[in-house]
Amino acid sequence: MSKYVLEMKNIVKIFPGVKALAGVDFKLKPGRVHALMGENGAGKSTLMKCLIGIHPPTSGEIVYKGKKANITNTNTALNMGISMIHQELSPVLHRTVMENIWLGREPKKGIFVDHNKMYELTKDLLNDLELELDPKEKMVNLTVAKMQMIEIAKAVSYKAEVVIMDEPTSALTDREVEQLFKIMAKLKDEGAAIVYISHKMDEIFRVSDDITILRDGQYVATHEAKDLDTNKLISLMVGRELDKMFPKIKCEISEEKLRVEGLTVEGVFNDVSFSIRKGEILGIAGLVGAGRTEVIETIFGIRKKTSGQIFIDGKEVDIKSPEVAIENKLALLTEDRRQTGIFPMLSVKDNMVIANMDDYLSPLKFIQHKKIVCECKDYKEKIRIKTPNLNQQIQNLSGGNQQKVLVARWLLTQPEILILDEPTRGIDVGAKSEIHSLITQLAGQGKSIIMISSELPEILGMSDNIVVMHEGKVTGTINREDADQEKIMQYATDSVG
């Protein structure tokens, strides 16, 4: 009898124009958490999608509980006892929590759905996982973090023997992360094998028993977590030592570029004021729900302000729409690249130029295709976007490379004020380092950069000044020299003495 509940042997996956996996091996033991690590584009999510039948392998073998398995779709995987929590959430928003959990397998009374039984099953499940949620609440009313916890509950409800978690904590608060770790410990005790994909090193070393590393679609190594440290793991992942995670250099900071005074959206945030100068990186910190994203959406014209003023170069501007924001040389990289960033069916090239098409029209209004290709190629090289070609659909790229395409999109608009909302969320250490370098270079060119991040090391490592928010208000502004994690958290929880 094999000691492994699952063995993936010599897995190859070829998409048009790209070999995503080149003979990868992966073995899972029951009752253990096995981290799957690698940069974006290494093949982690693809390997797991091969396992659950979203992308059946081109070649190779999957052995589950000692028997060769042919998993052609997700239902087959679920019926076998393999479930997956996806990085990109896709809830049915206008249905309830309980309907989302039991979708496609609702308890029946004859031919009708037994809503009472569904309610009781959901209540028992949520109580068991210590999740305080109403089974009858509609998903549309929940935060992204709560939706993520529902997704976790749904995976647990299948009573799976293999549970795959792809970036499960990317949208969770610290409290919810602790709750997830409790759920994982419970699953381990029940003998489940957990595959854990995350870019957060502290989490990996806290929860993992085993770690497998992939690089560029190839298997690199498997080690017990206790035999590795952060530096060794990063070196295996990227194939090189990362000199500096936060390559912040002292940029020349000159005159004020943008000032916000008393900005208010009633019921969302109140009396927000700050300013940013040329060459400055301004970090905006705060816990989930502090109102950070809503503030920058208002500055960019996505939301309508109730009151307050916005000044650019000392002149008051009335930004009523994103078009007006772009005319004023603002750019916004949104937090959720899937919902509000990429156009999945379009090519990498089209996604890059879509915010800036007027610049590629000749005097006679013909599209200048050569100019588009030339500038897109330039940015592809500059920020190391991994794609077989510019005509590849962006949905076939890894999350980190999709993010880089969006950065390129906004840089092509030649912005003077660049707003980045969680620019490295769900991105590996190598791509993070590259994006940090790029942000620093842009500040060096005199750009003003506003960066929202929930990762305190990133805020501390990259910002010249930090604005901290709590429940829709600015509770403090700290300069780089005086900032530390404890001080930021005091302001973020509004507990400064």
Highest mean pLDDT among 71-85, 161-175, 297-311: 297-311
Q: What is the pLDDT of residues 158-189, one digit of tens each?
A: 888 999 998 888 777 788 888 889 889 988 99
- What letter would DSSP give residue 251? P
* pLDDT score of 1 more than 60: no
- Same domain, residue pair 234 and 260: no
* pLDDT score of 243 more than 60: no
**326, part of any domain:** yes
Residue 216 confidence (pLDDT): 80
Torsion sign across C-alpha atoms 33, 39, 40, 42 = negative
- Same domain, residue pair 319 and 418: yes
In a 13 Å sphere around the CA of 45, the CA atoms on its Cβ side amount to 21
Residue 288 confidence (pLDDT): 72
- Same domain, residue pair 260 and 190: no
Check: CB of residue 213 under 8 Å from CB of residue 221.
yes
Of all residues in the chain, the percent with pLDDT exceeding 90 is 38
**484, part of any domain:** yes
Structural domain tally of the chain? 2
Q: What is the pLDDT of residues 374-406, one digit of tens each?
A: 889 988 888 778 888 888 888 888 777 888 888
pTM of full prediction above 0.85: no
**451, part of any domain:** yes
- Same domain, residue pair 288 and 325: yes
Residue 269 confidence (pLDDT): 95
- Same domain, residue pair 314 and 216: no
- Same domain, residue pair 309 and 392: yes
**1, part of any domain:** no
> CA 169, CA 444: separation in Å to the nearest integer?
33
- Same domain, residue pair 227 and 289: no
* pLDDT score of 55 more than 50: yes
* pLDDT score of 94 more than 90: no
Q: Which of 179, 206, 238 is where one domain is finished?
A: 238
Residue 424 confidence (pLDDT): 82
Q: Which residue has the higher pLDDT, 237 or 205?
A: 205
The mean pLDDT of the chain is: 86
List strands edge to edge, sheet with 59-64.
18-28, 6-15, 59-64, 67-69
Residue 328 confidence (pLDDT): 94
Residue 199 confidence (pLDDT): 76
- Same domain, residue pair 468 and 424: yes
Residue 337 confidence (pLDDT): 60
**Secondary structure of residue 137 in the 3-state scheme:** coil
Contacts (Cβ under 8 Å, ≥6 apart) of 276: 256, 257, 258, 259, 282, 417, 448, 449, 450, 465
- Same domain, residue pair 200 and 331: no
Note down the domain range covering 262. Answer: 256-492
Q: Tell me, what CATH number does 454's domain have?
A: 3.40.50.300
Q: What is the pLDDT of residues 194-206, one digit of tens each?
A: 999 987 788 899 9
* pLDDT score of 471 more than 50: yes
Contacts (Cβ under 8 Å, ≥6 apart) of 448: 257, 258, 276, 277, 278, 279, 280, 282, 416, 417, 418
The closest alpha carbon to 90, from 318, 308, 338, belongs to: 338
- Same domain, residue pair 306 and 421: yes
**278, part of any domain:** yes
Q: Which element (helix H / strand E) includes 465?
A: strand 465-470
- Same domain, residue pair 185 and 155: yes
Q: What is the pLDDT of residues 326-362, one digit of tens each?
A: 899 998 888 766 565 778 888 899 898 887 777 778 8
Q: Which element (helix H / strand E) includes 439?
A: helix 429-444
> CA 417, CA 328: separation in Å to the nearest integer?
9
Residue 403 confidence (pLDDT): 80
Average pLDDT over residues 54-62: 92
- Same domain, residue pair 325 and 401: yes
Q: What is the pLDDT of residues 363-375, one digit of tens each?
A: 888 888 888 888 8
Average pLDDT over residues 12-32: 89
How sure is the predictor about 242, in pLDDT bands with cuts at 50, 70 and 90? Answer: very low
**245, part of any domain:** no
**318, part of any domain:** yes
**153, part of any domain:** yes
CA distances from residue 74 to 51, 53, 77, 78, 82 in whole angstroms, order as listed: 9, 5, 5, 6, 9
